[in-house]
Amino acid sequence: MSASPSAVVMGCSAGGMGALRTVLGGLSATFPRPVVVVCHTGSEDVTTFCELLELASTLPVREARERQLMMPGVVHMAPSGYHLLLERGGRFSLSIDERVSFARPAIDVLFDTAASACGKDLIGVLMTGANNDGAAGLRTIRRLGGLAIVQDPADAQASAMPQAALEIAGADHVVPLKGIAPLLNQLCP
């Protein structure tokens, strides 16, 4: 059996653009893992969204393409209108199945499939948002041995999503936005 791939998956919604700018801007330029992101509010025009984020990010930010391998040190953004899934070998696939928690792309779909693909070599990060997408996915990540980081709801622009995550999944780390990138740099040297 080949080793499972390792990755960081992130989810956010309302207020997500600002949160991502802070987190991606704080990651080390030699960050060793792929970063895969679902942001509900950013995906309408994903090309522009990636360009805007790249201005703030130390790492390249690209739209995730189906069948492609995720790459270490690259931020992969879910395209608009599709669920983004991670397959076992670390390749992406897309689906237009029904919305999950009113969203497509849904954070839960990425988190669940990434948990199966990466097992304990996965870190899930859930940040600001006004719904409860991602909570169930984060629970799967923890159940399969991965690590959960949740933005402190008191610090989030919209607190519902991190709050729901804490209730449903719990977390290994609860930190304010500014603390997320330093923590990731430390966890993934």
Binding site for other proteins (CB under 8 A): 65-68, 79, 81-83, 85-88, 93-98, 109, 112-113, 115-117, 119, 140, 143-145
For residue 75, report the phi and psi dihedrals to the nearest 5 degrees: -95, 120
Query: Which of the residues 6, 40, 76, 108 is marked catalytic?
Result: 40
* Residue where the block lists tokens 């995906």: 43
Contacts of 151 (CB under 8 A, 6+ apart): 19, 125, 126, 127, 128, 162, 174, 175, 176, 177, 180
Tell the smallest beta-carbon distance from residue 120 to other proteins (Å): 8
Q: Which is nearer to other proteins, 56 or 144 (CB)?
A: 144
Which residue in the list 57, 83, 101, 133 is annotated as catalytic? 133
Task: Using the minimum distance from each CB to other proteins, give the nearer residue, 74 or 144.
Answer: 144
| C-alpha to C-alpha distance for 14 and 20, rounded to whole angstroms | 11
Are 133 and 39 in contact, with CB atoms under 8 Å apart?
no
Give CA–CA dist 97/116, Å, rounded.
19
85 vs 180 by CB, closer to other proteins: 85
112 is catalytic: no
Min CB(14)–other proteins separation in Å: 22
Q: Which is nearer to other proteins, 19 or 77 (CB)?
A: 77
Q: How far is the CB of 75 from other proteins (least distance, A)?
A: 18
Strands (E), the chain: 7-12, 35-39, 61-63, 75-77, 83-86, 92-95, 122-126, 147-151, 173-175
| Beta bridge partners of residue 123, listed in sequence order | 8, 147
Tokens representing 109?
């779909």
Tell me the closest approach of the beta carbon of residue 95 to other proteins, in angstroms.
Answer: 4
Whether 155 sits among the annotated catalytic residues: the reply is: no
Q: Is 13 an active-site residue?
A: yes
* Catalytic (active-site) positions: 13, 40, 133
